[in-house]
Structure 1
Amino acid sequence: MDVGLILILLAMGAGGGFAAGLLGIGGGMVLVPFITMIFTSHGFPPEHIVHMAIATSLATILFTSISSVRAHHKHGAVNWRIVAMLAPGIVVGAWVGPWIAKQMNTTVLSVFFGVFVAASATQMLIGKKPAGSRELPGTAGMFAAGGVIGVIAGLVGAGGGFLSVPFMTWCNVRIHNAVATSAALGFPIALAGTLSNIWFGMGTPGLPEYSLGFIYLPALAGIAAASVVMAPVGARAAHRMPVDRLRRVFAVVLYCLAAYMLWKAFN
């Protein structure tokens, strides 16, 4: 790879890692459109570009989540009971998500990603407050919620924070605890999704050299290296800065990225 591409990957990793630590989102929704642009510019097979971008993004969260959650744990913000209740459903869902993605062509997957990211941005902007009496559901409800989070996270290559943070805050979990707990949930999502993308991608014809299933290893290495450094910085910032204001800015960024993916789908 040329030096320019390495610098771009490092910059992407730094931005995604900071976002992961700050908002507990895993960075995937930010990374996928940019990885798609890079793969397109380097002439990767069009029918595999979005699948590979999503798989590579999801794999980076294996490293980002560990770095991010350590920083949040030092603040005592991770609710490990919620992690334990959501994780089983998340693992099942995150394995199924990439299998569903494999059945979709690039256009359909791009549209799904763009629409879902735009919907997530809208939810961030609205920020509707939950009823004061609302609580987390029981074991079955948490398993089902985890399954939904895992499937969609596996489909869009993200850490699931775009669903798990709103879900937890809707159930009256404090926003800083929701962000920290979402960061911890990123690891089981990424692990199951990464193994699934390797398994279902193995033997797929036309994948470029240095691919492991749908994961492009050079991009994974460059992005992960920078994201691990920046995730703790974002986590520390989350405990010092007005998160609501930052979420509004982040929502605008998501709208721009969603627009790109929709443009990509129809061009």
Structure 2
Amino acid sequence: MLGLWIGAMVFAGILGGLLAGLLGVGGGIVIVPVLYHVLAGFGVDETLRMKVAVATSLATIIATSAVSVRSHHRRGAIDFALLKTWGIPIFIGVVIGSLVGGSVDGRVLTLVFAVVALFVAANMLLRKEGSKLYDGFPNRIVAAISGLFVGVISAMMGIGGGTLSVPILSTFGFDIRRAVGTAAAIGFIIAIPGTIGYILTGLGVPGRPPFSLGYLNFAAAAALVPLTMATAPLGAKLAHTMPRRALQLCFAVFLGLTSLRMFMDLL
């Protein structure tokens, strides 16, 4: 069991960090399912394991986003005007999503993760390169609603926001590389309040694994953070050297595989 734990943390940390820099997803798209299945191997109840995985993933995203943001900022790939527009609705959405996620059955979070990941993968895979609806958001209402959606769902999935914000921004005409860089910064807005929300809603809940505060497991976070921080800059470097379509396909493949694995577990 110890070997399983170490191997899973190394895998999740390295791949999660690479994806954080490469795709702006904060690594959660890898960390959540890996932790979910590791916790299952340790006998954590299925109603709790997804909550612990989500909370721990959000905590690691705080550190990962810091490294990824610095790398993308050096390349001028962060849209700070967009962050000002999206910041408040995303924050409100995260508060709502973390409170709901910490209260419902953990299998609901698993279903949300699987459905949203599959939808986003299909969108990125099937949409033609360069296709878009507008050159930027048509108005503030659309921007606010989309930001609220990103915050709620990201908090329930334990992801940094890139999983949703990258395809949304691409659809509204934002360059894929700037979308990825901005998504890395959005990870801060999602991860900090999201982690606090899951800590508060998990206090005193029986059946949590050792070394947990609320639903946040410090043992897993301590193992993951150094690895994700070390590999995120490499992912960010790759994001600025790969062709746009290759970047989109990479994004879609990882999301699709993750979603299918989650559906198999639910069934």
What TM bracket, shorter-length normalisation? over 0.9
Contact 2:120 2:163 in 1 (8 A): yes
Identity of aligned residues (%): 36
Unaligned runs of 5+ in 1: none
Query: Residue type of the partner of 2:120?
Result: S
Paired residue for 2:109?
Answer: 109
Note the 1:63-74 alignment, pairs <5 A: 63-74=63-74
Q: Within 5 A, what are the aligned runs for 1:121-132?
A: 121-128=121-128, 129-131=131-133
Aligned to 1:167: 168
- What amino acid is aligned across from residue 186 of structure 1 in structure 2? G
Cα deviation, 1:165-186, whole Å, max 9, x if unaligned, reads 1221222111111110111111
Kept in 2, the 8 Å contact 1:24–1:182? The answer is yes
- Mapped to 2, the partners of 1:197 and 1:137 lie a distance apart of 34
Letter in 2 for 1:206: G
Once residues 212 and 191 of structure 2 are traced to their aligned partners in structure 1, the CA distance between those partners, rounded to angstroms, is 17
Q: Which residue of 1 aligns with 2:194?
A: 193
Correspondence 1:8-27 to 2 at 5 A: 8-27=8-27
CA shift in 2, pair 1:260/1:4, >3 Å: closer
d(CA) in 2 for partners of 1:91, 1:218: 27
Give CA-to-partner distance per residue, 1:20-60, whole Å, 9 cap, x none.
11111122122211111111111122220111111111111
Q: Give the secondary structure class of the aligned counterpart of 1:47.
A: helix
User: Shift in Å at residue 123 of structure 1?
Assistant: 1.0
AA of the residue aligned to 1:124? M
Aligned to 1:143: 144
Paired AA for residue 146 in structure 1: G
Aligned to 2:59: 59
Query: 1:61 & 1:220 partners in 2: Cα distance?
Result: 10
Q: Which amino acid aligns with 2:215?
A: F
* Structure 1 counterpart SS, 2:174: coil
Q: What count of residue pairs does the alignment treat as equivalent?
A: 265
- TM-score after normalising by structure 1: 0.93
- Residue type at the aligned position of 2:51: H
* Offset from partner CA, 1:164-221 (integer Å, 9 cap, x none): 1122122211111111011111111001111111111112122122111111111111
Q: Which residue of 1 aligns with 2:80?
A: 80
> Larger deviation: 230-239 or 5-14?
5-14
- 2:208 matches 1:207: yes
- What secondary structure, in the 3-state scheme, does the structure 1 residue paired with 2:91 have? helix
Letter matched to residue 60 of structure 2? T
Q: How far has the Cα of 1:3 moved from its partner?
A: 5.5
> Which residue number corresponds to residue 219 of structure 1?
220
Moved runs in structure 1, 4+ residues, more than 3 A?
Answer: 1-4, 137-141
1:156: Cα distance to partner? 0.6
Task: Determine the C-alpha separation between the residues in 2 that align with 1:185 and 1:249.
Answer: 21
Q: Distance in 1 between matches of 2:232 and 2:61?
A: 10
Quote how far apart the aligned CAs of 1:248 are. Answer: 1.6
Structure 1 Cα separation of the partners of residues 159 and 142 of structure 2: 22
- Unaligned stretches of 5+ residues in structure 2: none
Give the drift of 1:104.
2.6
Compared with structure 1, are the counterparts of its residues 166 and 256 closer, same or farther at alpha carbon in structure 2 (3 Å cutoff)? closer
- For the aligned residue pairs, the C-alpha RMSD in angstroms reads 1.7
User: Which is worse superposed, 134-143 or 220-229?
Assistant: 134-143
2:263 maps to 1:265:
no
CA, structure 1 residues 10+172, in 2 after alignment: closer, same or farther (shift >3 Å)?
Answer: same
Structure-1 residue corresponding to 2:100:
100
Residue type at the aligned position of 2:80: W
Residues 106 and 265 of structure 1 are in contact (CA less than 8 Å); yes or no, is this contact kept in structure 2?
no
1:4 Cα shift?
Answer: 5.1
Opposite residue 63 of structure 1, the aligned amino acid is: A
Q: Is the 8 A contact 1:108 1:265 kept in 2?
A: no
